[in-house]
Amino acid sequence: MDLRKMRQRLEEEKIRLLKRIDSLNKTGLAASLRDSTGELSLADNNPADIGSEVFERSKDFAFREDNKIKIKAIDDALAKIENGSYGKCEICGQQISLKRLEAIPYTTLCYACKTENEQKAPSFGRPIEEEVIKRISRQALADDFEDAWQFEPRTSNLEPRDYGGEALTEEEQDYS
């Protein structure tokens, strides 16, 4: 592998990405949505128009962030060329194939490790709400259910005797 050519390719890619970021910034990403649309008020516009503007700006922000991540990866690859570790997989330590490096010169994983890494399902923890729900005892749920039945006759056409409850007082019947 010719490290000189790889360094040149990485530097050219970095310049290309920096130009793209500069171009995105010039399109008004630093300006507020109101300033970038030229509208004095966003309230009188069709919500779909504003939605389109927000969507396009979100894409531009995402492109800019992706380019920044790639520039960081390129800087890391250039540093690895300097210290002699360029082209080695960060997981298994094996040499990354020349074809893969030619396709993605700032890659840090060999094809096998990258494939295995992509196939692993992301491990997201369960929502905190589930922990709270687990702490509720069955008795508390049963009590809540019983309370629901006590209030049910006031909002239903059923008679309390239909489900084994007590008869309503005259006052309660006025509210049912």
Looking at the fold, whether 93 and 9 belong to one and the same domain comes out as yes
Instruction: Please report, for residues 58, 60, 108, the alpha-carbon distance to residue 17 in angstroms, rounded to integers and kept in the order given.
Output: 18, 13, 19
Q: What is the mean pLDDT of the chain?
A: 77
Q: What is the pLDDT of residue 51?
A: 76
Looking at the fold, whether 161 and 81 belong to one and the same domain comes out as no
Looking at the fold, whether 153 and 98 belong to one and the same domain comes out as no
More confident residue, 5 or 26: 5
The 10s digit of each residue's pLDDT in 10-34 is: 999 999 999 999 988 887 776 666 6
High-pLDDT (> 90) share of the chain, %: 41
pTM for this model (two decimals): 0.60
157: Cα separation from own chain's centroid: 48
Number of domains in the chain: 2
What is the CA angle 123-115-20, rounded to 5?
90
Looking at the fold, whether 72 and 151 belong to one and the same domain comes out as no
Where does residue 96 rank: exposed (0-12), middle (13-18), buried (19+ CB within 10 A)?
Answer: buried
The 10s digit of each residue's pLDDT in 71-107 is: 999 999 999 999 999 999 999 999 999 999 999 999 9
35: Cα separation from own chain's centroid: 27
Looking at the fold, whether 32 and 96 belong to one and the same domain comes out as yes
CB atoms within 10 A of CB 158: 12
Looking at the fold, whether 7 and 72 belong to one and the same domain comes out as yes
The CATH number given to whatever domain includes residue 102 is 1.20.120.910
Q: Which domain holds residue 153?
A: 129-175
Paired tokens of 71? 């520039």
In 3D space, the residue among 73, 32, 72 whose CA is nearest the CA of residue 53 turns out to be 32
| Backbone dihedral angles phi then psi of residue 88, each to the nearest 5 degrees | -105, 135
Instruction: Please report, for residues 16, 48, 72, the alpha-carbon distance to residue 41 in angstroms, rounded to integers and kept in the order given.
Output: 37, 15, 39
Residue at 41 is within a domain: no
Paired tokens of 99? 């074809």
